[in-house]
Structure 1
Amino acid sequence: MRSINKVILIGNVGKDPDIQVFEGGRKKASFSLATTERYRDRTGADQAVTEWHNCVVWGPQAEVVEKYVRKGTPLYIEGRIKYRDYTDKDGVKKRITEIFLENFSMLSTRSGSDSGTEISSHDSGSVSSQDSDPMDPPLNKIEDDLPF
C-alpha cells in the first residue's frame, strides 16, 4: 500500500531565516512559520492558538528564501514531515519535527498588490507567477461541461 506524507500550511515567518552554506556551495535555509487558529470560546470571547512549525529548504529554493523571505513574510508552503533525533549538550535525547519544503509561495500582504511568487522543487527552484498554466483548461469551462 502506498502512503502519503504531505503538509500544507499558510502562515507568517517568525524570524529571519537561518542560512547555512555547505561544501560545494549548497545552501540550506531554516525558519519558523506561525499558524494561528482563531475561534470563539463558550463565553463568546475571541481566542487564538498559535503553532510554530520548523521549516527547512535546500538548494535553489534556499537561495530564494535567503534573498526575499524575512520575519513576518506570509507564506503558503507544501512539504513533508521529517523527524530528527539528537542528543543535546546535557546528554538528553530529543526529537525535532521539521517540514521539508517542496513548494512555497510568498503571499502578498493585504496592502500589497502583487499576486505572490511560487517556488517549486519540481522546477529546480525557478520562480513563476501564480497565474494558471496555459495547459490547464479554464475552471469555468470545466463547470460548463458538467452534465448536472
Structure 2
Amino acid sequence: MNKVVLIGRLTKDPELKFTTTGIAVTTFTLAVNRRYKREGQAEADFIPIVVWGKQAESTANYMKKGKLIGISGRIETRSYEAKDGTRKYVTEVIAEETQFIEWSSKAETEAAIPNDLTYQENEDIPF
C-alpha cells in the first residue's frame, strides 16, 4: 500500500506548467511540522509535491506561499540523467486529492471585495 496524507504550509507560490499535450501540472514544496521538537525548536520536513490536471490549476490559482493545505496521494521515485551526465534520484508525493485549508487572510479577502458589495452590520437587509 502506498498512501500519504500530509498537512503543511507552502514554502513558496506553486509553479504551474503545461505538458506538450496541454495537461496542467503544478509543483511546490510543502513544509510539514514534525510531531516532536528538539530543545523547544520546531522541526519540519520539506516535501516536494506534484499535482496534475484541474487540481493543478486550482492549486496554482488559489494557494500562495505560507498557506495551509492538505494533500492525499502516493510517493513516487524516479531518476534521470542530469546535464553533467550524473544520475539524479527524486522522491516526491503525487497528490491525488488536495484540500485548501487556508485560502487567504481576512485583509486579502476584504481587499478583493469591491466596496459596493460589502455588507455593513447596521444596514437593513433588502428582503
What interval of TM-score do these two structures reach, taking the shorter chain for normalisation? Answer: 0.7 to 0.9
- 3-state SS of paired residue (2:36): strand
Distance in 2 (CA, whole Å) between partners of 1:8 and 1:73 is 17
1:100 to 94, 103, 106: 94
Answer whether contact 1:88 1:94 (CA < 8 A) is retained.
yes
The CA distance in 2 between the partners of 1:59 and 1:25, in whole Å, is 9
Tell me, yes or no, if the aligned pair for 1:38 and 1:46 is still in contact at 8 Å: no
Higher relative contact order (CA 8 A, sep 6+): 2
| Paired position in structure 2 for 1:89 | 83
Residue in 2 that maps onto 1:77: 71
Secondary structure in 2 matching 1:61: helix
Over 3 Å counting, the alpha-carbon distance change for 1:40 and 1:21 in structure 2 is closer
- Residues paired across the two proteins, number: 105
SS in 2 for 1:71: coil
> Which of 52, 65, 68 does residue 58 from structure 1 map onto?
52
Counterpart secondary structure, 1:48: coil
Q: Distance in 2 between matches of 1:6 and 1:38?
A: 19
Does residue 1:68 correspond to 2:62, yes or no? Answer: yes
SS in 2 for 1:64: helix
| Residue range with higher mean Cα deviation, 89-98 or 28-37 | 89-98
Instruction: Give the match for residue 136 of structure 1.
Output: none
User: What is the CA RMSD across the aligned residues, in angstroms?
Assistant: 1.8
Could you state the TM-score of these two structures normalised by the residue count of structure 2? 0.75
Cα distance, 1:108 vs structure 2: 2.9
TM superposition outliers: structure 1 runs of 4+ over 6 Å? none
2:33 corresponds to: 36
Counterpart-to-counterpart distance in 1, 2:21 and 2:79: 26
Residues 72 and 40 (structure 1), Cα distance of their counterparts in 2 relative to 1, 3 Å cut: closer
Q: CA deviation at 1:18?
A: 1.2
TM-score, normalising length from structure 1?
Answer: 0.65
CA deviations on 1:113-136 (whole Å, 9 max, x unpaired) are xxxxxxxxxxxxxxxxxxxxxxxx
